[in-house]
Structure 1
Amino acid sequence: MASDRADRTSPSWHNLPAKIRQTILNALLQTDGSLAPYATVSREWQAVIEPHNFSRLKLTIPRIQQLDSMTFRTQRYVQYIWLCLELEEYELEEYYPQGMGDADSHAIGKALYEVVDALSSWCDRPNLVLDISIHSPSDSAYWFKYLTFEPDCPFNQRESEYSELPGLSVPAITNCGSDDSDEIEESDDSDDSPDLETDDDAIYFTSYQINKVFNQIVVKGPVETTMEGHEWWQGMPLARAVTAVLFRQQTRRRWPPKTMMQLLSRFPRLREIHYEPWREWDDGMQKRTDGDYQILFHSVASSPLKKLTVFENFNQRYPIYFERCSDSRNLNYYVARAIARCLELEQLSASFIIDAKHFFQARGRDWEWLSLTTLVLTSGLLQPLGDHSTIQHLLFQAARAALRMPKLELMEIWNGLEGVAAVFRYQTPRYKANREGKPRPTVMTWRGTWKFKLLVTLIQSWEHVTNKLHGDELVVKTESLSGRLIASHADAIHHLGIAELAIRPVSQRQIRAEHLAGEEAALVAESSADSGSPDASS
């Protein structure tokens, strides 16, 4: 009898109100550590924890063949796959010619084929992001000790806080080096702050050392296959489940645009591409790459893509190590024209790979971006010592183009270098009224590290755009920014408040970490020189 009374009076999970149970489960999802053991508590806990655990996967080469078997029951929960391809380690004194070794090339080709083949059997879903990274553990072992290799978003970030790109709710995972328990992983706790080395090697390189980690990616089929090139790619199945692909800047090795085009053709339902290449360190090679970019973006223009982000990364210190590398990238008009021809996009961001002036100059008379809501571009004209009249002309061109964008909500034209940052922003409110029911105006803002006066006629042009597109009032703002805050283009993004569409947050943080490492190394070298240390001459 006493036992029966205890059963009736003891606390029970199911006796708790539904709202309290939901609050507890939500709090549990935000805790650190693996949640897998909690899925065994009850069916209710399993129904909440399993979708959370399996929504994001890290996939390494040794476990690709087990992708289907390991997600047989939970496949429907998967929204993001981080394909982390690890190359062979190399010795400090080894020399590789341009490109990579055959073993790595075949391993990448085999891995890509197996992943696409596995995903070809997956049913269509609203969002499935494939995030592809390539690196060697040796990359951060010698010179680039600040490099980190991470997934797109930290694990403990709530879904509502993620960027606009759907499905990008991913865990923070430590460097994807090989270990004895290599597997398809769920979340993994790690300190995502970069390890900033301050020895001289963190900044003072040779061209050989830089090229080592910027080798071209070569994708080859299995050694035993007789198929070559295009034929091999066309033999790869179609993976209709994939809706977004990420190529983030932490992969310093270069994806040939033609290889990317072949790979992307395997995803017929692709709606989003986020591509963060690095500039070339040879002007002649850059011209050839720009020619291939034209082909790539022409193919994108004829696809059903809705969102395109291209962010060409660079390091302002690297050109000094190369004889045929200009300090400033010579931007190609025809690449801009190919990107501008993507008329069906809803969101477009192209930073540093083209100039906004070329984008607007390339506009055909009958071109209209009928679905475009967001446009983010960079322009080298935005310089404090430049001709201000050319900036005014650029913004006039932007206004004329905006009249061909009936759904435009945000346009940003910006630039950022060490000590220099500026943005021209035109933004209409997504919600026309505030909580009090008062109308929200459309706002045009200039924010920069130098004073710039918008001409009255320019303001009138944008008032015409506002009236025609939105019927709103236009408010003009001018904001100042200290150049001392800008150590890199990543700092400029942060302090200008550039739309998150422009670059993945983890990429921005990695760029800032690289420049911070360089600054600290420079201070160490300067201190050694001032003190007469023997290291000063090394």
Structure 2
Amino acid sequence: MSSQPVPGSWKYLPAEIRTSILTLLVQESESLASFATVSPEWQSMVGHRTFSQITLTLNDIEDFDRYTCRNRALVRFIRLSLSLRSYELDDKSSIGQSKSFYSTLSRWEPTGTLVLAISIDQAPSDLWCRSAYCSLSGNLGSNQPRKLVLLGNFHRTDEDPDWPPRFPTSKLAEGLAHASQGLEQLSVAYVVDASPFPQACGTAPLEWPDLTSLTLTSCLFGPDTSAASIDDMIEQAAEVARRMPKLEVVELWNVRPGLAAAFIYRFPGPSRPAEIAWRGTWEYGPSPFVVRAWEAVALGRGGCNITPIVREILDGDLVESDCDAIPQLKFLTEVAKSTSIGGVDWSEKWDDYEAGHCREAVVCE
């Protein structure tokens, strides 16, 4: 036989009124710990309020797993606030703490939507790095992005990267293919490789009706890769380009110390010959199959055959960083120019502030 609530007691109130009272309490009170001891009902309400949104600093990460072990299902939003000290190349303490945080999250069982927001407060001595990000344009007629630039880390070959490789790259490429359909300009450097991008585009009948320029990096561009493999990748890119009716420029490139290479296609307009250029630090030239594939792209736009192909051999001894190679590769799009990397003379700062210091920038214009 169940006992009836005593008149005037908490449980005597209708459930709707109890919920309204508890909601008001948790909204108006700064400290909720004492409320959680009143009853299981109060504890449940306070728990949802306390753990639904969490703000962390690097100092909180060590205890994060222990404090949330029994309430993970309640967490819906995590704000990680990072206050960076003045940058030092060999200081990896922040990286280690961040790895610990992500490792903890990876062990959580999925229980619903979880949003992670990361805010970064730079040290005053590093404010010069802000110019490494392209500015946002406010004169667009639409709220939709027209230009997307993804700049990833530029790791030196003589150092192990601090972060694990990005896997699976096919999934990243597939996501990029779908997300870029409404863009006019797309440039991705060291985030998604150009190699899986054509395959990802081939999984669905995608079209890019407004895309005028496409710039991607590819780790296949290197002297250790066979010419046939490079040809295959560039030819597959041409197949994708045929679904971009306004395409004017394609740039596929790669740079690391001692190595630089770029394949550049340009469509100057109807009734005019298209252009292909290859510049690199080793002997290579697009095969006739590759040339015909890109001629088909130009002819489909009302252009003419490819003009004589430009081939230039660069001196690898002069390539120590991206800033050394970019002027020699003679890019056509602004993303590869010094202005798009903030106007910073990276050749002077490479030893102390390599381009990867800026981590990953996403710019939409």
User: TM exceeds 0.5?
Assistant: yes
Structure 2 contact 281–313 (Cα < 8 Å) conserved: yes
Q: Which residue of 2 aligns with 1:283?
A: none
5 Å-filtered alignment, 1:87-486, equals 96=59, 136=84, 138-140=85-87, 143=88, 205-208=90-93, 250=129, 304-316=144-156, 319-320=159-160, 325=163, 332-341=169-178, 342-363=180-201, 364-429=203-268, 441-475=273-307, 476-486=309-319
Deviation at 1:330, TM superposition (A): 5.4
**In 2, distance between residues paired with 1:449 and 1:399?**
23
Could you tell me which amino acid in structure 2 is paired with residue 376 of structure 1? T
Superposition deviation, residue 497 in structure 1: 2.3
Of 334, 347, 357, 1:512 maps to 347
Structure 2 CA distance, aligned partners of 1:355 and 1:309?
14
Counterparts in 2 of 1:458 and 1:318: CA distance versus 1, 3 Å: closer
| 1:391 to 1:336, Cα distance in 2 relative to 1, 3 A | same
Following superposition, the deviation at residue 479 of structure 1 comes to 1.2
- How far 1:401 sits from its partner (Å)? 0.8
Q: Structure 2 CA distance, aligned partners of 1:446 and 1:480? A: 9
Q: Distance in 2 between matches of 1:460 and 1:355?
A: 24
User: RMSD in angstroms over aligned alpha carbons?
Assistant: 4.3
Distance 1:213 1:421, change over 3 A: farther
3-state DSSP of counterpart to 2:86: helix
1:251 is displaced (CA, Å) by: 6.2
Aligned equivalents of 1:474 and 1:413: distance in 2?
A: 18
Indicate how the Cα distance of structure 1 residues 211 and 319 shifts in structure 2: closer, same or farther if over 3 A, else same.
farther
- AA partner of residue 93 (structure 2): Y
| Per-residue deviation, residues 419-443 of structure 1 (Å, max 9, x unmatched) | 111011001226x7xxxxxx75321
Provide the secondary structure at the position in 2 that maps to 1:424: strand
Contact 1:421 1:449 in 2 (8 A): yes
* Structure number with bigger Rg: 2
| Higher normalized strand content (fraction of residues) | 2
Is the Cα contact below 8 Å between 1:378 and 1:414 reproduced in 2? yes
Counterpart amino acid of residue 456 in structure 1: P
| Residue pair 1:311, 1:502 contacting (<8 A) in 2 also | no
Q: Deviations over 1:78-127 (max 9, x none)?
A: xxxxxxxxxxxxxxxxx84659xxxxxxxxx9xxxxxxxxxxxxxxxxxx
Runs (5+) with no aligned partner, structure 2: 1-57, 63-78, 102-113, 118-126, 355-365
- Cα distance between partner residues in 2 of 1:270 and 1:399: 33
Amino acid at match of 1:333: S
Pair 330,482 (structure 1): closer, same or farther in 2 beyond 3 Å: farther
Give runs of aligned pairs for residues 6-45 of structure 1, distance below 5 A: none
Q: CA deviation at 1:375?
A: 0.3
Task: Tell me the CA shift for residue 468 of structure 1.
Answer: 1.2
Distance verdict in 2 for CA 1:317–1:403, change over 3 Å: closer
Output the amino acid matched with 2:190: F
Aligned residues: 252
User: Normalising by structure 1, what TM-score?
Assistant: 0.40
Q: Distance in 2 between matches of 1:415 and 1:377?
A: 9
Work out whether 1:500 is the aligned partner of 2:339: no
1:479 to 1:214, Cα distance in 2 relative to 1, 3 A: farther
> Aligned partners of 1:211, 1:318: CA distance in 2, in Å?
20
SS, match of residue 396 in structure 1: helix
Distance 1:331 1:377 in 2: 17
Contact 2:323 2:346 survives alignment (8 Å): yes
Q: Does structure 2 retain, via aligned residues, the 8 Å contact 1:350–1:502?
A: no
- CA displacement at 1:400 relative to structure 2: 0.7
Counterpart of 2:11 in structure 1 is: none
Does the aligned pair in 1 maintain the 2:221–2:230 contact within 8 Å?
Answer: yes
Contact 2:206 2:243 (C-alpha < 8 Å) held by counterparts: yes
The residue that corresponds to 2:25 in the other structure is none
Q: Is the 8 A contact 1:344 1:370 kept in 2?
A: yes
Q: How far off is 1:455 after superposition?
A: 1.1
Is it true that 1:489 corresponds to 2:326 in the alignment?
no
Cα distance in 1 for partners of 2:140, 2:283 equals: 40
Contact 1:442 1:472 (8 Å CA) reproduced: yes
What SS does the aligned partner of 2:198 have?
helix
Give the counterpart letter for 2:334 in structure 1.
Answer: E
What's the secondary structure of 2:233's corresponding residue? helix
1:250 corresponds to which letter in structure 2?
C
Structure with more contact order per residue of length (Cα contacts < 8 Å, sep ≥ 6): 2
Q: Amino acid of the residue matched to residue 387 of structure 1?
A: S
Cα deviation for residue 486 of structure 1 reads 1.1
Gaps of 5+ in 1: 1-94, 100-108, 110-133, 145-204, 217-228, 234-247, 253-266, 273-302, 433-438, 520-538
Q: Is the 8 A contact 1:372 1:405 kept in 2?
A: yes
